[in-house]
Copies of this chain bind each other. A is one copy, B any other.
Amino acid sequence: MSTNTVQKRPGGRSAAVLNSVKIAVEELVQEKGRERVTIPMVAERAGVNPTSVYRRWGDLQTMINDIATYRLDPTRPIPETGSLKADLTAWAREIVAHYRNPTNAALLRGGAASAGETESDCTRNRRAEAGMMVERYGATSPVTPDEVLDHLVAPIIYRVIFLPWTLDDGTADSLVERLFAGR
């Protein structure tokens, strides 16, 4: 007997459907905004029957959240340059670059609407990553993880949601600079 049999069948057609739906969702969210996207619309763009989407995800909210999870891989390597300031700069640049992609920004805005009750994946992951970097430098660190969230992550996310056109190449650097000012 082989290892325990899984419920899902990964390869083949199922995977193809998943992939084409994923692409369709990303395109449509970027084009129209999460608000104006419907499941039949996604199905048509993906060349898939709406029924398949309903069966697999149930509703639009679940589907989009699920698909958004595939982005900004939580297992990606965290910058490790030897200096906390340089680590945070590289890390912040990654986040800014990620959210300058209009699709990712639209998905974030959509996620904001349904946040508040439980801690979102996005927030939890950023907090954990910040904690890892700060703790490398022990009690000598000039900044705390909470300060990183308040003064590095929060300004970036705020701009992504409300002022996306103010996000430029220098945003990450100047925020880090200000974070370390007077320390």
Question: Do B162 and A150 touch (CB < 8 A)?
Answer: no
Contacts of A163 in B (CB 8 A): 119, 123
Contacts of A133 in B (CB 8 A): none
If A116-B162, A157-B158 are given as contacts, then 15 extra A-B residue pairs at C-beta distance below 8 Å, sorted by A number, are A33-B114, A33-B116, A34-B113, A35-B113, A116-B161, A116-B164, A150-B151, A150-B175, A151-B155, A151-B178, A154-B159, A155-B155, A161-B161, A181-B182, A182-B183
Residues 94-142 of A at the B interface (beta carbon under 8 Å): 105-106, 109-110, 112-117, 119-120, 122-123
In the complex, residue of chain B having the shortest beta-carbon distance to the beta carbon of A60: B35
Instruction: Give complex CA distance A32, B71 in Å.
Output: 27
Given contacts A150-B155, A151-B150, A182-B183, contact A116 B109 (CB under 8 A): yes
Cβ of A158 and Cβ of B162 under 8 Å apart? Answer: no
- Docked-complex contact A106 and B114, CB < 8 angstroms: no
A-B contact pairs, 20 of them (CB 8 A): A33-B113, A33-B114, A35-B61, A106-B116, A112-B161, A115-B162, A122-B162, A123-B162, A147-B178, A150-B151, A150-B155, A150-B158, A150-B175, A151-B155, A153-B158, A154-B157, A154-B158, A157-B162, A158-B158, A161-B161
Q: Provided the pairs A151-B178, A182-B182 are in contact, do residues A161 and B110 lie with their beta carbons within 8 angstroms?
A: no
Contacts of A150 in B (CB 8 A): 151, 155, 158, 175, 178
Q: How far is the CB of A62 from the nearest CB of chain B, in Å?
A: 12
* Complex CA distance for A164 and B28, rounded to whole angstroms: 30
Complex formed: what's the CA distance from A22 to B154 in Å?
31
